[in-house]
Structure 1
């Protein structure tokens, strides 16, 4: 298919900024509790950090190398960096508008304030002074910068103070002080009535003279560097683990791609930093302050402020799918089971691995791990399984961006416990989510399987929406064994019975399914496509969707993040709608439904509609079969499409507008899913209680008397 610019296509970086803008809108939303608004603001800041470290860094690297070819949206790297910089500057202004004009005033009404040392009373100033001398002073390391002491390599995203001093000869001198990240960024000072907090950099600035007693302090300005952190890994290296470790070290020394300064920064300090770091004007971002809003996420999680947060969505445990079953294998043998996280607890997945680790009849466990938590119970169960003599094979993806160090540590522990650890395939990231348990039973070997849309991460499973399916049906088990053989050995990709696997068969599968809907519409047969993904930027998929729309196929898309397709364009995409759901939880599941001429089919899996997922990753998409599971899967899509609280709809001009609720009851799909999960368990519990109260029948009574 022609990859040239043959159709409207929104640049992916600009589309990503639009997504982060939708998150920022939640920080402005006065209906959201104030601590949640702070949390959303902190999320936009950490999102933007990663965007600079990878995507902006990539564009600047293209410029540095002289690359001038326009992308599919028609923009050269120079064009894009200018548009991006303008968009990011506007976005940054909106971040600080949200903080200073909306959120901080709302916090003050709740008795919570951020102050500078100058605003405190004598007793509070003494508290800060004691903290500085007892805690801060021993940790701080002032670094002079002169001919004998060059500018140090500052850690990526670290917050620092640049100090301009004068010696006895009235000469300008410069020094740096890093704000220690090991200590809390915010410090609460005693106050009988209000909750008062002071930022750590303000405490250090207030006492900066004590670090440079022999010099006159002329100015002290905070600043922060963001570096290029996209790893370059030689996947042909003999030892991939060592190669990744080397690349992680290089990340800390990556070229600066952003310098954040305060708007009232001392001009000579600014000149010193810009010249020393060899920065371009588009690398410099001056903000009202404070610099680095990512701390707001931690601040929003402080204990004692539950009344200023969303009512937490608490998972039901056990979920309805496993209610009343002590033996998880028995439950799966009876029928396939579906769980919807975090409305239904991820604990059932953890229990599945734990039970397999301790079950004497389990012979082998095979699992892929992309991102896991810092204290993963699943890793612990896999280690115990190996210690119990089971054959344990784990594919740990070392190249999972920004989780490389965590995954290396887990890989080493798994190897030490006797697990077979695979680091993935050369040139491909293994992103599929699959867990296979091989068990010996009376009628032979049976394979139990969990397939999901999200990572085996018990921490993110509390805030990411994902779906998992348990089955022991033979076609799925055979496919799972074949897939693991491809991952661990030299097996050729097989003809799968149920699985759709990237990179060898997934692109062609989606092409066929979309083209079939186009043909059905042309024949007058029922047609329709509904897809939920995190990102939609693949040019070929977009072109096929445009063609399907031109044939009259109704297309409903739920795309949380980047979307390069433009809906509702006359004679091109008139039948396409694009919904973006941004709410209390992060939408992460991927679901694909096709009308199929009146015989609807629905699939779930790990893949987004992006070139990397379809061509450069090992991904898994699987069909949902059985009337009960299919009904539930379709219902999940319909509820999300009915959401009018968290949903924004993309317009033909690429802007997103909130769904109008005029005259309609509020539908929040996330709280509705939570309510349905609770209701299902409550009904099962009630049914169980009724059974316990059934009176003994006469016939039974007669038997008892005998």
Structure 2
């Protein structure tokens, strides 16, 4: 057996879908952690629901399509699509039970302790019963439509995520006999699902109100059973770009079609009778494994409605966070600043304002000739869009790549594409068969010494909302070679250009995979020569078999590999002779870890790169992504500090075990370090100018053994981001 065949063995890989479920369980653990503020725990539980919804919309749907066409090839872990679906059902059923134990045994009692109540109809006072009666008849009854099912009226279509009530009733016939009938009532989406009752912070679910008065919808019949249920459908978007003469119209057409996708999951009240369950299962054309009995209100995202309508105690939420805005980026020409040196921004601890200001100043600067930008996800009221339109109105040449296929942002992006076109921007939609996921802005400006390219490159989206919730990193630079590469990328995206090479940037498809493979090979060579060899990587997900195999090769050669992975990790640790030099940490906390860092010791030269790409096959093979180097020493050192601090986190870090479980790191005997909390507090101190300005910036000695700091350079260097990060 060859070395490659050995490292391709299924026993060395974890199934991607099961690894994702393990990630969602780590999110669920945050809901169960009593050290977290109560409202944040409630929010974490709601997030596990929305995560699962999307998982069924996309991942489970994809596996079902494979099964339907009799595709039976196993994945890297040796599991066929049918086997994966079976394992998913088992794991998710267990997770759902854990979600509702968390709700009923922990969170609802904790809310009640703070005098926040979710009431059932039986618990209402007389005044509250009168209130829901009036509410039902005035606000709800007029918009309800009971849908009977019989020979002349087929089972109604139920949209993805909609809440419905199944009703089993008895109707008299002309002979006085009663016959069982079935009907549905959709819980209206235009009415708040959580109703605020009089008498304090007390609430009742809309479906409970409807159930109380449901007999008024079926006058002359006897209600025998009512139970709520919810369907989750295939929400994948199947766009045939090769045959689409107008991509934007094709995407709009597919958005309408996917609303009628096949049912992937049926959630039902745990008390629903077997007869009703069988009936719904048959109508949905699903198996019993796809039915999820729910011991509580279906769809836990309702919890966010409660906490949004209650004034929280200060200890019930995370303290307010104000990002730090580097003084060098305030009240001056941003292009002058970037010309002096590169500038690094670490979100959400640093402000996103410089990114929007970069576009804003470009729009109004008479010396700016062109603005080019990629947009993957933007907010519904994006200031970026506003400034791009201003730039076009001011006569700049504005080219914007809008990725119409950004999952679940398609409709929003179609809207923005239309607006930008109407404002005079050149809007392009990328390359056939590829999503454009890179985050890149290029501004061409006429300086005193000639034309110069100014760039912003980032690991995250140009979204001012998620910039407050996701940890991402960005770099402003006017490096000449990077500028040439950036122009080549836009020429490739907008025309038929095929650059023969890139000077500083690496581009997917394939380019990032090949580049990182070469860097790993260089570390392997160093290790085999008996020299120090270290790889540090931070990403959202690791699932590409080629990259996992390369990391196994590195570990087997003696390279120390430290991986920070938020979500999916198909790599296994602790395999003797294969992965015993690999450690994997995962941080799940207040902010969603979204940045991607790739570091190689490189014989002491210490190469550091940021990227829009995770090490997943889709990022490396089916998307346009960029990986860019950090060339300025102080920023490079600062990034290594950030990684080292994150690796030393002993509050929110979970460590991957050889049996594929994740365990909280043992922080006993060590000072407490919640790294996200540390960065928030440091930003606050810098905002208030409470931190003394140190004489030098502490730098990390990168031996992979934890934090060791030595003085390096002045913290006043604007490229450092937050001057003088100190541990």
TM-score by length of 2: 0.92
Deviations 1:148-205 (A, max 9, x none): 22112111010101111221221122211111122211111111xx421101111111
- Measure, in 2, the Cα distance between the counterparts of 1:542 and 1:461: 30
Distance apart, 1:303 and its partner CA: 4.7
Partner residue of 1:428 out of 434, 446, 462: 434
- Measure, in 1, the Cα distance between the counterparts of 2:316 and 2:62: 37
Superposed, 1:82-481 pairs within 5 Å as: 82-169=86-173, 170-191=178-199, 194-236=200-242, 237-320=244-327, 322-323=329-330, 325-481=331-487
Deviations 1:106-142 (A, max 9, x none): 1111111101122101101111111111111122222
- Measure, in 2, the Cα distance between the counterparts of 1:313 and 1:234: 46
Please give the secondary structure, in 2, of the residue aligned with 1:467. Answer: strand
Which residue number in structure 2 is paired with residue 78 of structure 1?
82
Please give the secondary structure, in 2, of the residue aligned with 1:66. Answer: coil
Superposed, 1:497-516 pairs within 5 Å as: 497-516=503-522
2:685 is the counterpart of 1:670? no
Given the superposition, is the C-alpha separation of residues 56 and 671 from structure 1 closer, same or farther in structure 2, using an over 3 Å criterion? same
Q: In 2, are the aligned partners of 1:313 and 1:674 still within 8 Å (CA)?
A: no
Which residue number in structure 2 is paired with residue 635 of structure 1?
641
Please give the secondary structure, in 2, of the residue aligned with 1:368. Answer: strand
Q: In 2, are the aligned partners of 1:164 and 1:174 still within 8 Å (CA)?
A: yes
- Measure, in 2, the Cα distance between the counterparts of 1:366 and 1:209: 60
Deviations 1:567-603 (A, max 9, x none): 1222211111000000000000000000001111000
Which residue number in structure 1 is paired with residue 576 of structure 2?
570
Distance apart, 1:443 and its partner CA: 1.4
Q: In 1, are the aligned partners of 2:324 and 2:684 still within 8 Å (CA)?
A: no
- Measure, in 2, the Cα distance between the counterparts of 1:8 and 1:316: 42
Please give the secondary structure, in 1, of the residue aligned with 2:525. Answer: helix
Given the superposition, is the C-alpha separation of residues 593 and 685 from structure 1 closer, same or farther in structure 2, using an over 3 Å criterion? closer
Please give the secondary structure, in 1, of the residue aligned with 2:172. Answer: coil
Q: How many residues align?
A: 684
Given the superposition, is the C-alpha separation of residues 145 and 319 from structure 1 closer, same or farther in structure 2, using an over 3 Å criterion? farther
Which residue number in structure 2 is paired with residue 13 of structure 1?
17
Distance apart, 1:272 and its partner CA: 2.0
Please give the secondary structure, in 1, of the residue aligned with 2:131. Answer: helix
- Measure, in 2, the Cα distance between the counterparts of 1:118 and 1:679: 51
Q: In 2, are the aligned partners of 1:392 and 1:419 still within 8 Å (CA)?
A: yes
- Measure, in 1, the Cα distance between the counterparts of 2:497 and 2:606: 33
Distance apart, 1:319 and its partner CA: 2.8
- Measure, in 1, the Cα distance between the counterparts of 2:663 and 2:223: 50
Which residue number in structure 2 is paired with residue 29 of structure 1?
33
- Measure, in 1, the Cα distance between the counterparts of 2:57 and 2:323: 38
2:543 is the counterpart of 1:537? yes
2:46 is the counterpart of 1:39? no
2:651 is the counterpart of 1:645? yes
Distance apart, 1:636 and its partner CA: 0.8
- Measure, in 2, the Cα distance between the counterparts of 1:491 and 1:565: 37
Q: In 1, are the aligned partners of 2:342 and 2:475 still within 8 Å (CA)?
A: yes
Q: In 2, are the aligned partners of 1:231 and 1:247 still within 8 Å (CA)?
A: yes
Distance apart, 1:10 and its partner CA: 0.3
- Measure, in 2, the Cα distance between the counterparts of 1:467 and 1:401: 22
Which residue number in structure 1 is paired with residue 703 of structure 2?
none
- Measure, in 1, the Cα distance between the counterparts of 2:290 and 2:396: 54
- Measure, in 2, the Cα distance between the counterparts of 1:561 and 1:677: 26
Deviations 1:546-578 (A, max 9, x none): 111111100000000000001122221111100
Which residue number in structure 1 is paired with residue 715 of structure 2?
none
- Measure, in 1, the Cα distance between the counterparts of 2:297 and 2:270: 10
Please give the secondary structure, in 2, of the residue aligned with 1:167. Answer: strand
Q: In 2, are the aligned partners of 1:532 and 1:589 still within 8 Å (CA)?
A: yes
Q: In 1, are the aligned partners of 2:459 and 2:474 still within 8 Å (CA)?
A: yes
Worse-superposed segment, 103-112 or 676-685: 676-685
Deviations 1:79-105 (A, max 9, x none): 222211111111110000100011111
- Measure, in 2, the Cα distance between the counterparts of 1:442 and 1:65: 63
Deviations 1:225-258 (A, max 9, x none): 0011111110111111111111111211001011
- Measure, in 2, the Cα distance between the counterparts of 1:685 and 1:260: 52
- Measure, in 2, the Cα distance between the counterparts of 1:507 and 1:487: 20
Q: In 2, are the aligned partners of 1:40 and 1:297 still within 8 Å (CA)?
A: no
Partner residue of 1:547 out of 536, 548, 553: 553
Worse-superposed segment, 295-304 or 565-574: 295-304
- Measure, in 2, the Cα distance between the counterparts of 1:298 and 1:561: 27
- Measure, in 2, the Cα distance between the counterparts of 1:316 and 1:4: 45
Distance apart, 1:301 and its partner CA: 3.3
Q: In 2, are the aligned partners of 1:511 and 1:541 still within 8 Å (CA)?
A: yes
Given the superposition, is the C-alpha separation of residues 25 and 684 from structure 1 closer, same or farther in structure 2, using an over 3 Å criterion? closer
- Measure, in 2, the Cα distance between the counterparts of 1:648 and 1:427: 37
Which residue number in structure 1 is paired with residue 708 of structure 2?
none
Q: In 2, are the aligned partners of 1:321 and 1:337 still within 8 Å (CA)?
A: no
Given the superposition, is the C-alpha separation of residues 579 and 38 from structure 1 closer, same or farther in structure 2, using an over 3 Å criterion? same
- Measure, in 2, the Cα distance between the counterparts of 1:655 and 1:96: 22
Please give the secondary structure, in 2, of the residue aligned with 1:300. Answer: helix
Given the superposition, is the C-alpha separation of residues 298 and 229 from structure 1 closer, same or farther in structure 2, using an over 3 Å criterion? same
Distance apart, 1:479 and its partner CA: 1.1
Q: In 2, are the aligned partners of 1:317 and 1:347 still within 8 Å (CA)?
A: no
Q: In 2, are the aligned partners of 1:448 and 1:477 still within 8 Å (CA)?
A: yes
Given the superposition, is the C-alpha separation of residues 566 and 293 from structure 1 closer, same or farther in structure 2, using an over 3 Å criterion? same
- Measure, in 2, the Cα distance between the counterparts of 1:520 and 1:255: 53
Which residue number in structure 1 is paired with residue 524 of structure 2?
518
Consecutive unaligned residues in structure 2, runs of 5 or more: 694-727
Which residue number in structure 2 is paired with residue 487 of structure 1?
493
